[in-house]
Structure 1
Amino acid sequence: MLPLPGRFNTAVRSLVAQRRAATDCQWKDVVFERQFDLFSVDDARAVEQEALDSGYRFEYSATVSLDSEPDKYKRVDREARTFAEGLDSDGRRQVGVGDNVIKKSRTVTGPVALVSTIEQVMEFLTDGIPPGTIAVIGDSGGTLTAPIIEGFAGVICLGGTVRSHLGILAREYDVPTLMNCKINDLKNGDVVELEVTAAPPASDAYELGDTGHARIWLIENEG
Structure 2
Amino acid sequence: MTTYYADSDKFGDEAASPLVEAFHGAVKDLVRRRLAESGAAWSDFVFGDAIDGLTADDFAAIDARILELGHRYEWSALVSVRERPEAYKPAAGLAEDLATFSFEHPGAVTVPADAEGWEQRGVGDNVVPYETNLVGTARYVRSSDQVLKYLTEGVPAGTIAVIDDSGGTLTAPILEQFEGVLCAGGTTRSHLGILTREYNIPCFMNAKLSGIREGDTVMMETTAKARTAEAYQHNIEMTARVWRKSGG
**TM-score greater than 0.5 by the shorter chain:** yes
2:146, 2:27 → 1: CA distance? 45
2:84, 2:150 → 1: CA distance? 32
The yes-or-no answer on 1:100 pairing with 2:125 is yes
1:85, 1:9 → 2: CA distance? 35
Q: Secondary structure at the match of 2:86?
A: helix
Residue 36 of structure 1: which of 34, 42, 52 is its match?
Answer: 52
The equivalent residue for 1:195 is 221
For residues 10 and 104 of structure 1, do their structure 2 counterparts lie closer, same or farther at Cα, with a shift above 3 Å needed? same
Percent identity of equivalent pairs: 33
2:210, 2:32 → 1: CA distance? 48
Q: Give the CA deviation at 1:141.
A: 4.0
Q: Map 1:169-184 onto structure 2 (within 5 A).
A: 169-178=195-204, 179-184=206-211
Q: Map 1:101-116 onto structure 2 (within 5 A).
A: 101-105=126-130, 106-116=132-142
Alpha-carbon contact 1:192-1:218 (below 8 Å) kept: yes
AA partner of residue 200 (structure 1): R
2:63, 2:161 → 1: CA distance? 35
The equivalent residue for 1:216 is 242
Q: Secondary structure at the match of 1:148?
A: helix
The yes-or-no answer on 1:137 pairing with 2:157 is no
AA partner of residue 36 (structure 1): D
Q: Give the CA deviation at 1:89.
A: 6.9
Deviates more, 1:148-157 or 1:119-128: 119-128
Q: Unaligned regions of 5+ residues in structure 2, if any?
A: 1-12, 94-100
1:14, 1:23 → 2: CA distance? 14
For residues 85 and 125 of structure 1, do their structure 2 counterparts lie closer, same or farther at Cα, with a shift above 3 Å needed? same
The equivalent residue for 1:150 is 176
AA partner of residue 203 (structure 1): Y
Q: Give the CA deviation at 1:88.
A: 4.9
Alpha-carbon contact 2:118-2:246 (below 8 Å) kept: no
Q: How many residues align?
A: 216
For residues 55 and 80 of structure 1, do their structure 2 counterparts lie closer, same or farther at Cα, with a shift above 3 Å needed? farther
Alpha-carbon contact 1:98-1:212 (below 8 Å) kept: no
Q: Unaligned regions of 5+ residues in structure 1, if any?
A: none
Alpha-carbon contact 1:192-1:220 (below 8 Å) kept: no
TM-score w.r.t. length of structure 1: 0.70
CA RMSD of aligned residues (A): 4.0
Q: Give the CA deviation at 1:220.
A: 7.2
Q: Give the CA deviation at 1:140.
A: 3.9
AA partner of residue 68 (structure 1): E
Deviates more, 1:115-124 or 1:178-187: 115-124
For residues 68 and 22 of structure 1, do their structure 2 counterparts lie closer, same or farther at Cα, with a shift above 3 Å needed? same
TM-score w.r.t. length of structure 2: 0.64
Alpha-carbon contact 2:78-2:91 (below 8 Å) kept: no
